[in-house]
Amino acid sequence: MPAHSILVAVPADIRTIGNHRWHAAPETYLKAIVRVAGAIPVIVPALSEELDIAEILSRVDGVLVTGSVTNVHPSRYGAEPTAAHEPYDLDRDALTEAMIKGAIARDVPLLAICRGLQEMNVALGGSLATEIQDIEGRMDHRAVDDPEQGVRYAIRQKVTAEGGSKLNRILGKQEFQVNSLHRQAIDRLAEGLTVEALAPDGTIEAVSVDGARGFALGVQWHPEYWAESDADSAAIFSAFGEACRAFRKSRATAR
């Protein structure tokens, strides 16, 4: 299979710049898809009511759900909106729920990062906790206040993978360091998800989909940022890319 012949769908965020609404995705994720997973990212606009999501999923070989500055709207998991839950992106919420559920149903390889992991949990019926740094016994998982992105995204937090988990097998180890930057986290774990890794304070840092025949992993940290220089981050994107290539091959064989 030629290099970069596989396609990975990336759900877009809505951004308002000047007088225009933009459908966009962060460059760090796109570069990691191209340079480490060896795939072509395709940004899917957050126009879920006007798109045939099933048709899109029939044409791609993987789905990557990015992190974002916005949060899943609390009404999607039965909570009352407060200032602590903001900001929102309702158009993205609708798109990612459809794409996550559709990818899982069709065994399309799925990698969900940060907000993406939270969206995966909510899409399958789980809930989120907000401002977890204010909860007794929890660590402060937020990024440090520094103008330099490399400092903000520095790898500084220990995570422990469950023995024998998919993540354990990908990385070949149980303990490793990550750049986990967030103020929300999984509260009630959705049925159909298995915990893959935990932070020292018990925060769920990674999950996988029960019974998934292919790659279906969510991580709370940001492997995309150091995917070209950190071995563990690269391993996640490489495994995702390999899963996408295997999915393309299996689908072609079935036709």
95, part of any domain: yes
**Looking at residue 144, what is its pLDDT?**
80
1, part of any domain: no
Instruction: Based on the residue annotation, tell me whether 244 is a catalytic residue of this protein.
Output: no
> pLDDT tens, 107-133?
999 999 999 999 999 999 999 999 888
Residue 1 reports pLDDT greater than 80: no
116, part of any domain: yes
Instruction: Based on the residue annotation, tell me whether 4 is a catalytic residue of this protein.
Output: no
Residue 6 reports pLDDT greater than 60: yes
169, part of any domain: yes
Q: Which helix (H) or strand (E) holds 189?
A: none
Half-sphere exposure of 120 (CA within 13 A, CB side): 34
Catalytic residue selected from 97, 114, 141, 196: 114
Instruction: Based on the residue annotation, tell me whether 114 is a catalytic residue of this protein.
Output: yes
Residue 2 reports pLDDT greater than 80: no
Measured CA to CA, the distance from residue 108 to residue 100 in angstroms comes to: 9
Q: Which of the four pLDDT bands, split at 50, 70 and 90, describes residue 255?
A: low
Can you list the positions of beta strands (E) in the chain?
7-11, 13-17, 20-24, 40-44, 62-65, 110-113, 128-130, 157-161, 175-178, 184-186, 193-198, 204-209, 216-219
**Is the model more confident about 147 or about 24?**
24
pTM: 0.95
Residue 167 reports pLDDT greater than 90: yes
Catalytic residue selected from 85, 182, 224, 244: 224
213, part of any domain: yes
Strand-by-strand arrangement of the 204-209 sheet: 40-44, 7-11, 62-65, 110-113, 216-219, 204-209, 193-198, 157-161, 175-178
146, part of any domain: yes
Domain that holds residue 169: 7-254
Give me the CATH number covering residue 45: 3.40.50.880
2, part of any domain: no
Residue 67 reports pLDDT greater than 90: yes
Under a CB-based contact definition with an 8 Å cutoff, are residues 62 and 33 in contact? no
Catalytic residue selected from 73, 141, 182, 222: 222
Number of domains in the chain: 1
